């Protein structure tokens, strides 16, 4: 498995590594299928293959069977196949997926620098003053990679892709943006242009 400095991962980090939607990560945690770090909802590094396996077998194995399988996988990390309820599961492809996910997360983390002297500590792409979450948000809203490269020529295509990975693993915290009042969200039925001279005098 690729090296990772942290012994445990948050649900968001684990979702990126295992390609399991973060909502499903929380559901698997709530089901008590995974061994967690004591007193927290963080996932141990050696349980990542188990997390991916729990997601893939959700519609195939019972909850108790999934618990047994994952316990064996976590205990015997080098096991290449596992059998349960007459089902044989090859683990090497899952292990390879997790290794790639760990590598992707490490690259995304290495992409970003947080410095109180740069943009007030906003996470920026290394060597620039470009906020990583801004790039990720623009891409998520449909801005094409080509358009982003044209707007920010100092960035590479890989940096733009990794910005999205970083933003998913480390989402911005804080209050959600306020919604516009209902009257501002309505489309006007008619519009009319007035000359300022036509307005009544105060």
pLDDT range class, residue 14, cuts 50, 70, 90: very high
Q: Write out pLDDT tens, residues 112-169.
A: 999 888 888 899 999 999 999 999 999 999 899 999 999 999 999 999 999 999 999 9
For helices 92-111 and 157-169, the axis angle rounded to 10 degrees is 100
Q: Write out pLDDT tens, residues 80-111.
A: 888 777 788 888 999 999 999 999 999 999 99
pLDDT mean over 41-52? 89
Closest alpha carbon to 136 in 164, 171, 105: 164
Do 47 and 14 share a structural domain?
A: yes
Total structural domains within the chain: 2
* 42 within some domain: yes
* 141 within some domain: yes
149: domain CATH number is: 1.10.10.10
Among residues 100, 125, 156, the one where a domain terminates is: 100
Cβ-proximal residues to 98 (8 Å cutoff; 6+ apart), any chain: 1, 17, 18, 48, 49, 52
93: domain CATH number is: 1.10.1660
* 190 within some domain: no
Do 138 and 86 share a structural domain?
A: no
More confident residue, 87 or 20: 20
Whole domain around residue 157: which residue ranges?
A: 114-169
Do 57 and 15 share a structural domain?
A: yes
Do 60 and 138 share a structural domain?
A: no
* 179 within some domain: no
Average pLDDT over the chain, rounded to whole?
84
Amino acid 177: pLDDT: 53
As a whole number of angstroms, the distance between CA 50 and CA 119 comes to: 39
pLDDT range class, residue 20, cuts 50, 70, 90: very high
Do 143 and 89 share a structural domain?
A: no
Amino acid 149: pLDDT: 93
Cα 83 from chain centroid (whole Å): 31
Do 20 and 69 share a structural domain?
A: yes
More confident residue, 32 or 163: 163
* 202 within some domain: no
pLDDT of residue 188 exceeding 70:
no
* 89 within some domain: yes
Do 21 and 71 share a structural domain?
A: yes
* 199 within some domain: no
Note the pTM of the prediction, 2 decimals: 0.74
Do 86 and 132 share a structural domain?
A: no
Amino acid 4: pLDDT: 46
């Amino acid at each position: 498995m690729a090296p990772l400095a942290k012994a445990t991962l948050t649900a968001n980090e684990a979702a990126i590594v295992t390609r399991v939607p973060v909502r499903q990560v929380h559901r698997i945690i709530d089901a008590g299928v995974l061994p967690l770090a004591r007193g927290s909802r963080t996932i141990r590094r050696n349980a990542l293959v188990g997390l991916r396996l729990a997601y893939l077998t959700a519609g195939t194995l019972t909850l108790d069977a999934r618990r047994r399988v994952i316990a064996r996988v976590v205990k015997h990390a080098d096991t290449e196949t596992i059998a349960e309820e007459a089902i044989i599961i090859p683990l090497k492809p899952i292990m390879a997926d997790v290794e790639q996910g760990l590598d992707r997360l490490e690259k995304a983390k290495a992409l970003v620098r947080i410095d109180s002297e740069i943009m007030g500590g906003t996470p920026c792409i290394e060597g620039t003053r470009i906020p990583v979450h801004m790039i990720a948000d623009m891409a998520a809203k449909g801005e094409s990679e080509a358009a982003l490269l044209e707007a920010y020529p100092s960035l590479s295509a890989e940096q733009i892709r990794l910005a999205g990975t970083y933003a998913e693993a480390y989402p911005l915290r804080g209050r959600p943006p306020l919604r516009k009042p209902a009257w501002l969200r309505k489309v006007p039925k008619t519009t009319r242009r007035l000359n300022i001279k036509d307005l009544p005098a105060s």
